[in-house]
Amino acid sequence: MINREIIRIKIVQLTYAYYQNGNKNIDTAEKELFFSLSKAYDLYNYMLALMVAVNKEASRRMEVMVQRAKREGTPEPSQRFVLNRFAIQLAENKQLNDFISTQKSGWDENAAFVASLLEKIEQSEVYQEYMNNPEDSYDIDREFWRKIYRTLIQDNDELDAILEDQSLYWNDDKTIVDTFVLKTIKRFDEANGPKQELLPEWDSEEEKDFARKVFRAAIMNADEYQRYMSEASRNWDFSRLAYMDIILMQIAIAEMMTLANVPISVTINEYVEIAKFYSTPKSAGYINGMLDGIARNLVESGRLAKFIEPKKEREYKPKKQIITKKHD
C-alpha cells in the first residue's frame, strides 16, 4: 500500500522536521520516517474498521427495532442494510481483525460519531436507492459501501478532526489512504470470505530502499545539493528562497542522483506537485524551472548519467508586416 507518493510526502515532512529539531541524528530520523509510514498503514486499517463499526451499530439498533415490532405486533423493519454481504465479509476479515486486536483504542471510543454517521447514511439518497433496489446481489452490496465511503466518509470534517486527535501523522495521510480504501472495496470477492487479502503494508522491498536512499542522500549530501541550487539560481538571492522550496529541491536532487531507474521528468513533476500543497503559490513554477536547469547542468557535466529531453528552442516567428495604403 505504501507507494512512492506517500513516501515522497513523508520524506519532505521528516526532512523538514530534521532541520527543525535540535538533535540531528540521521539514524533516529530514519526510524521516525519509517514509523510515520507505518502509521499511514494503520490509518488504512482504521478506515476499514469504521465501516465495520457502523454496521455493528446498525445491527444493535436493528435488534431493538425487531423486538419492539414483535411486542407491538407491527411489521418488522427491513434488515437489508445490516445483512449487507460486503459489510459482513469485512467484519469477518482475518487480517483486519488481527489488526484490531493489536490496537489499544478503536471506534468504540468514538461511538457518538459512529452513531451520527449511521444516521447520515440512513438519510442519504444512496441508502434510499439501495433499500428500494429490487435487485439483490453481492456486487450491489459492495457498490453501496463504495458509494457511501465516497460521499459521506471521504470528505468529512468531523471525521478529519477525530483522526487529527488520534494521530498527528494522519492529518496529511487521509486523502491518499482514501484511494486505497476505495481500491480495497472494489477488490473484495465474495468467494474469498474472511481470507480476502487486504493491501500489504509495503508493495515491495524496493519501496523501502527508495525511502531509505532518498532520505539519507537528501540529508547527508545537503551542502552539495544546495550548491547546485545556488549555481542555478543566478540572479535570484538564494538566501531569500522559501525554506520549504530548498527542502523540496534538495530531496528532488537526491532522488535524481541516487535512483537510476526514475526518469528526471518524473522526479521533477512529483516534487512540483508536492510544492503546490506545502509551499508558496509561486513555488511550483520556480521549482520546476530550477530543477530542470540543475538536471541539465548535471547531465551535461557528466555528473548525472540520465537522459533528459533536449531543451526546446523557441520557434522564431517573423512579425507580420503592416502594409499601409498610400493615398493619392
Quote the cell numbers at residue 241: 528562497
DSSP assignment, residue 37?
H
Give the per-residue pLDDT at 308.
87
Give the per-residue pLDDT at 328.
40
Does residue 93 surpass a pLDDT of 60?
Answer: yes
- Tens-place pLDDT, residues 99-131: 999 998 899 999 999 999 999 999 999 999 999
pTM over 0.85: yes
d(CA 170, CA 173): 5
Give the per-residue pLDDT at 238.
63
State the average pLDDT over residues 18-25.
Answer: 84
3-state secondary structure 161-207: HHHHHHCHHHHCCHHHHHHHHHHHHHHCCHHHHHHCCCCCCECCHHH
- Tens-place pLDDT, residues 6-15: 999 999 999 9
d(CA 273, CA 193): 39
State the average pLDDT over residues 34-58.
Answer: 97
Give the per-residue pLDDT at 327.
43
Which domains can be identified in the chain, with CATH numbers?
4-14+22-195 (no CATH), 205-301 (1.10.940.10)
Give the per-residue pLDDT at 5.
93
For 41-62, b/e burial (b = at least 16 CB within 10 A) is: bbbbbbbbbbbbbbbbbbbebb
Q: Which of 140-154, 183-197, 268-282 has the lowest mean pLDDT?
A: 268-282
Give the per-residue pLDDT at 239.
65
Give the per-residue pLDDT at 316.
35
Does residue 154 surpass a pLDDT of 80?
Answer: yes
Give the H or E element holding residue 116: helix 111-122
The answer to whether residues 50 and 107 touch, using CB atoms and an 8 Å cutoff, is yes
Alpha carbons within 13 A on the beta-carbon side of 146? 15
Q: Please count the other Cβ atoms lying within 10 Å of the Cβ belonging to residue 233.
A: 17
Q: What average pLDDT is seen over the chain?
A: 91
